[in-house]
Structure 1
Amino acid sequence: MEILKFIKMQGAGNNFVVFEDMEVKHNDLGTLAKKLCDRNFGIGGDGILVVRRSKIADIQMIIINSDGSYAGMCGNGIRCFAKYVYENNIVRKSEFTVETGDGIKVCHLFIEDNKVKAVKINMGRESFNPKFIPALGEEEIIKKDISANGKSYNITSLLLGVPHTVLLTEDGGFKVEEGAAIETHELFPQGTNVNFCRVVNRGEIKVNTWERGAGPTLACGTGCCSSVVVCNKLNLVDKSVKVMAPGGILTIEITDDGIMMTGPAENVFKGEIAV
C-alpha cells in the first residue's frame, strides 16, 4: 500500500485531486481516479490531474475524469496544474509549456508574492469538422435540431480539446441534468460535453455545463471557450467575452494566435491518502 501525497485544487469551482507520478508508478489511473474522486469514500473531485515528465514540453499533464474515463484537455484543470507545478518548484517559470492529450499548451502565470493568482492559457483552435469531434455525418453541426429523451434541442457542436455541444437558452429554459441525454446521443459515438448558454450582451454570457464523465460542474474551461466560439460564430458576441459560470468568472478572448482563457486557480487543502 502506498501513501499518496496530494493537493485538492479548484478553478472556478471545478475541483481536482493533483499529485505527482514522475516515475509512472500508477498504471491504472482510471481505477485510481474513481477511488480518489469519490466524495463519500475518497477525497472528492471532478477528476485527477497527474504530473509527469515530458520529452516534448516542460511538463506533462494527464487528466482522468471522476468516472475513470480519460480526458484530452481541461481548461480549469490546466490552470490548477500550472499553479501546482510552479508553486511546488517543478517548473519555475512564469511562462511554460504543458503536454496534454490535445497537444502542447502554453501557460502564462500572473504571480504576486511568489504565488500564482491567475493563469492565461492558449487553448488552441476549434474545429467544427464532425470527423474530429467525432460526430456522425459529414455536415457541420450548426443549429441542428435533435431529439433526446423525448425532448427537442437545437445544438451546435465542435471540438475544442474535447467534444462540446452548445445550446442557446433563456434562464430556466433547460435543466443542466438534461445534458445527460445529449451526452450519450447516437450522434456522438464518444459522447459530448453539453453547455447551456445564455447571452447577456455582446461582452457577457452565462454558461452551465454537463461534463462528459463527471456530470454537472460549477465550471468547465473548455466549455466556456466553446460557448464563446459558438456565440461569436453566430454573431451574438464580440471576440472578448466575460463568461459567468456557477463557480466563477472566466475571460475568453478569440485571437489570431488561438483562444485565450484567463481565470483563477486555488489550493483547497493538502493531505495524504492510502492507495
Structure 2
Amino acid sequence: MNFIKMHGAGNDFIVFEDFKNQYNDLSMIAKKLCNRRFGIGADGILVARKSQVADIEMIIINADGSYAAMCGNGIRCFAKFVYEQGYVSKETMKIQTGDGIKIADLIFSKGDIQGVKINMGKPSFDCKDFKANYNENIINKRFNVGGKEYILTSLLMGVPHTVIIDDGDNFNVNEGSKIEKHELFVEGTNVNFCKIKNDSHIEVKTWERGAGPTLACGTGCCASVVATNKLGFVKKSVTVDAPGGRLFIEITDSGVMMTGPAENICAGDTYIL
C-alpha cells in the first residue's frame, strides 16, 4: 500500500486510494496503521474510492476503527491529496462523504495549494438527527455527567457535536471521554470546550469521538461557531484557534464554510498483514 501522511492544523491522517475495492476490512487497517507505537500513527485514515455521484468518494475511519461520516480537517487533506495525485483535476471538486456531497475549493499561491475551503453543509439542533435521548433541543442545558455539572449545547455538524463554554478554564479536554459515552448520546458525541476571546475569535479544544484529544477538529470548530453564534456570543464570521492551528469559519445561507490548511508530512509504502 502506498500512502501519504497529512495533517490539517495538527489533525493527522494516513491517506491512500482503493479504486479496486481491494481493502475489505478498513477498521482493522485503521487500527493497525494509526497506532502511534506499532504503526505509522494518525488520528484516522482517509480512503479514496470511485464515485458514481461525485468526482470522488472519501471514506473516513477513526484510529479506533470506527466509521465517521465526515471530518473537516480530513476532507481538506483529502482534496489536496486527490488533486496532487492526479485523481481529480478540478480546482473545485465534489466529494462524496457519509454526510452527503461536499464542495471543496482549492486555494493556490504561486502554483501550490495553500489551503482548502469546504462547504460543510447546514447544521441541525434536532435531537433526532444526532440520536439523543432527549425530548427537546439541547441548547444551553445543564446536565450532571459523572458527578460534575456541564452546560451543553449539542448539534449535528456532519457528525454529532457537543459544545461547552469554558471561559474560566474549569474543564480539561479529557473530561470529554465521559460526555462522549454518556447515555444521553446513543451513538456518542464529539465534545468541544470553547473559550470566547471576542465576537469574532474563539479558541476550541476537542475530544474527538473515536480518537480522543486532537490538535484540531474541523467539524468541531464549525459546530463551536454555530453553537456560540446561536447563544449570541459571536458573529457569523469567526477565527477559530485550535491547539494545532487556525481555521476560519463563516455561517452563510448555503452552509457553514470552513477554510484552513492541508499539509503533506511524508509519503511511503507499508504492508497490511
For the aligned pair, the TM-score class normalised by the smaller chain equals over 0.9
Q: CA deviation at 1:240?
A: 0.2
Letter in 1 for 2:174: E
Provide the TM-score with structure 2 as the length reference.
Answer: 0.98
Structure 1 counterpart of 2:153? 156
Structure 1 counterpart of 2:233? 236
Structure 2 counterpart of 1:5? 2
* Secondary structure of 2:270's aligned partner: strand
| Residue 82 (structure 1) aligned with residue 82 (structure 2) | no
Letter in 1 for 2:149: S
Of stretches 146-155 and 112-121 in structure 1, the one that deviates more from structure 2 is 112-121
Structure 2 counterpart of 1:271? 268
Q: CA deviation at 1:170?
A: 1.6
Structure 1 counterpart of 2:245? 248
* Secondary structure of 1:274's aligned partner: coil
| Counterparts of 1:221 and 1:70, CA distance in 2 | 16
Q: CA deviation at 1:114?
A: 3.4
Letter in 1 for 2:230: K
Of stretches 23-32 and 167-176 in structure 1, the one that deviates more from structure 2 is 167-176
8 A contact 1:205–1:241 mirrored in 2: yes
For 1:72-151, list aligned pairs within 5 A. Answer: 72-151=69-148
- In structure 2, do the counterparts of structure 1 residues 268 and 37 end up closer, same or farther at CA, with 3 Å as the change threshold? same
Count of residue pairs the alignment pairs up: 272
* Secondary structure of 1:238's aligned partner: coil
| Residue 219 (structure 1) aligned with residue 209 (structure 2) | no
8 A contact 1:87–1:115 mirrored in 2: no
Which runs of no fewer than 5 residues in structure 1 stay unpaired? none
RMSD: 0.7
Q: Deviations over 1:25-55 (max 9, x none)?
A: 0111001000000001100000000000000
| Counterparts of 2:227 and 2:180, CA distance in 1 | 18
Q: Deviations over 1:52-99 (max 9, x none)?
A: 000000000000000000000000000000000011111011101000
% same residue? 60
Provide the TM-score with structure 1 as the length reference.
Answer: 0.98
Structure 1 counterpart of 2:38? 41
